[in-house]
Amino acid sequence: MRVAIDAMGGDLAPQATVEGALLYDKETVGKHKLVLFGDNDVIEQEIENHHFSKPNNISIYHTTQLVEMSDQPTVALKQKKDSSLMKGLQMHHEGEVDAFVSAGSTGAQMVGSLFILGRIEGVHRPALASFLPTEGGVVLLIDVGANVDCKPVHLLQFGIMGGIFINYIYGIKNPRIGLLSIGEEKSKGNEVVLAAYNIMAAKIPNFVGNVEGRDILHGRADVIVMDGFVGNSILKFAESVMGVFGTTFKRNLGKNLFSLLGAFMVRHAFKEMKSSFDYQEYGGVPLLGVNGISIISHGRSTAKAIKNAIRVAVNMSEKQVNQHILEELKHRGSE
């Protein structure tokens, strides 16, 4: 298959994006065609920097524009048609490539994916998912920012799509689907959640009911469904916690040599803990529900993250996730 990579997108681009593609190519021994979208000269230079001669299965698609983080997504969609981001999506839509990966502006990628690729038949609203580590593994939160003001049927569909994704891509069979609420009882929640509970209980076989904020990290569900406003707030909060903890911990250590030595001795356990909160392992998550494969990677994606994002893209295609979404939503995707 052919995967398009937005070589210009992300804080560490084009270095990390090009290197990530090269790493993936090396691991898979040139099995897939990779197309790097972006400035031809810049990309060629990057490839040279990595002392690679460009393998035959890697090509460059020259684009002249760049979507900046400050660009309004809808404006970028209209005015930056020749950006690596929008052109990559366009070529995917036209069937020139089979998937698209970017670590660029999440907002622009969401808007671009939605308008250029369109939606899978039956999907009301494509959704963005993200992993958080739990005590025993990971949990997928969906939606984490693509949709606010969701209706109950949207939450139902998020649950179905999230379940399909981690089943086929991460091998979690019969994933347990939960609904974020402010109490475990089905009588707890806001209007939308109360209604969503009943629909999800009727339509999702492995629905485990409400999950409270305190249980997100305890692994009581494999997928937790929520409105994108709530999901975005919780995800960003979670991402900031490690940093704040590090700062507070260091301050508390003070200048005491004894405790500084202790900190040195536990640095490994700390690093492990931090890496469990590391998005790089997951690489990226697809905008689920769009009629194509658009993998959204973290803005700070390293080469390793990009490599893993390409793997997700390939798996999405090989495991026919979108086909499963289409079929499942036909059966269970409406009220």
What six digits make up the tokens of 232? 């975005």
d(CA 295, CA 315): 11
CB of 249 to a copy of itself, least distance (A): 5
Residue from 53, 56, 205, 261 in contact with a copy of itself (CB under 8 A): 261
Taking only Cα atoms into account, the Rg of the chain, rounded to an integer number of angstroms, comes to 21
DSSP 286-327: EEETBSS-EEEE-TT--HHHHHHHHHHHHHHHHTTHHHHHHH
CB of 67 to a copy of itself, least distance (A): 17
CB of 212 to a copy of itself, least distance (A): 5
CB of 192 to a copy of itself, least distance (A): 8
Helix (H), strand (E) at residue 13? none
Residue from 153, 233, 315, 324 in contact with a copy of itself (CB under 8 A): 233
Kindly determine how many residues on this chain lie close enough to bind a copy of itself according to the rule CB under 8 A. Answer: 57
d(CA 213, CA 127): 20
If one asks whether residue 149 binds a copy of itself (CB under 8 A), the answer comes out as yes
What six digits make up the tokens of 211? 């999950």
Subset of 196-225 contacting a copy of itself (CB under 8 A):
212-218
If one asks whether residue 193 binds a copy of itself (CB under 8 A), the answer comes out as yes
Q: Counting beta carbons within 10 angstroms of the beta carbon of residue 97, is it exposed (0 to 12), middle (13 to 18) or buried (19 or more)?
A: buried
d(CA 315, CA 305): 15
Stretch that binds a copy of itself, among 46-54, 117-125, 151-159, 243-251 (CB under 8 A): 243-251
Pairing of strands 284-288, 294-297: antiparallel
Subset of 171-190 contacting a copy of itself (CB under 8 A):
180-182, 189-190
Residues near a copy of itself (CB under 8 A)? 133-135, 145, 148-149, 180-182, 189-191, 193, 212-218, 226-230, 232-241, 244-245, 247-249, 252-254, 258-259, 261-266, 268-270, 272-273, 276
